Amino acid sequence: MNTPNAAGGDRSRNVSRQPYIRQAGQHQRIAYTGGHELAVILDAAVTAGQLSVIDVHARHGDASPVHVHSRDDEAFLLLDGAMTVWAGDQRSQLQPGGIAFLPRELPHAVRFDMASRALVLSTPAGPQESVFRTAGWDLSQPRPQGWQPAPEVLRRAAGQTASPWPAHHTPWTSDQRAEEPIRRAARQQAD
């Protein structure tokens, strides 16, 4: 229940929240693009919209297309493996313990360079987890063999959260193919 404050605004975010304690096997698990398997550790419902934390298990070569978040900031904390992050005109490789903070409105993409595990943190909560839940497959149900989200489902899910998703979603096979769309998107943002 939202309670108005003296100024008439919503003070529900200032109300103390209940502790949330869960074990690894209790998180919602979602199959996503490529070989991604995600575990929703914290979501908007638990954190009153403040923070999402997603545990990502990715295969070698799993990647996102160049995209932009318009409503949330995103960070990747690499726990194990290796990944490449394109952010604006920058290309960086992360090793375990490395972090990439990607502020909203910045064109970016990621690629896992080997089997990897990373935490994805998004603030505020909601948009990121919504895309994963809408386009992904809830692993509490048997997954059809060979299941992958259709590109139109990804675009629709991203569109519902105001995060533009490219019309053609293809993970890259080379750095050159990844860097050109980033440069192009960065130039468009600057115009």
What residues are paired with 118 via a beta bridge? 56, 78
40 occurs within a structural domain = yes
Q: Is residue 180 part of a domain?
A: yes
- Indicate if the pLDDT at residue 77 is higher than 70: yes
Question: Is residue 10 one of the residues assigned to a domain?
Answer: no
Q: Cβ(33)–Cβ(154) under 8 Å?
A: yes
Cross-sheet strand order for the sheet of 83-87 = 90-94, 83-87, 108-112
Q: Is 58 part of a structural domain of the chain?
A: yes
Q: 146-176: per-residue pLDDT in tens?
A: 999 888 888 888 775 544 444 444 444 344 4
Amino acid at 154: L
- Whole-structure pTM value: 0.77
Do 22 and 46 meet the contact criterion of CB atoms below 8 Å apart? no
d(CA 181, CA 109): 10
Task: Give the pair of three-digit tokens for residue 25.
Answer: 């096997």
Q: Would you say residue 14 lies in a domain?
A: no
Our count of domains for the chain comes to 1
Instruction: Tell which residue, 33, 31, 30, 32, has the closest CA to residue 172.
Output: 33
Encode pLDDT of 94-103 as tens digits: 999 999 999 9
Per-residue pLDDT at 93: 97
Q: Residue 78: inside a domain, yes or no?
A: yes
pLDDT at 191 over 70: no
CATH number of the domain where residue 52 is located? 2.60.120.10
pLDDT band at 140 (very low <50, low <70, confident <90, very high): very high
Q: Is residue 38 part of a domain?
A: yes
Amino acid 155: pLDDT: 82
Which residue in 82, 86, 128, 135 sits closest to 106, CA to CA? 86
156 in a structural domain: no
User: Could you tell me the residue range of the domain that residue 53 belongs to?
Assistant: 23-138+173-190
Average pLDDT value for residue range 85-106: 96
Q: How far, in Å, CA of 6 to CA of 86, rounded?
A: 45
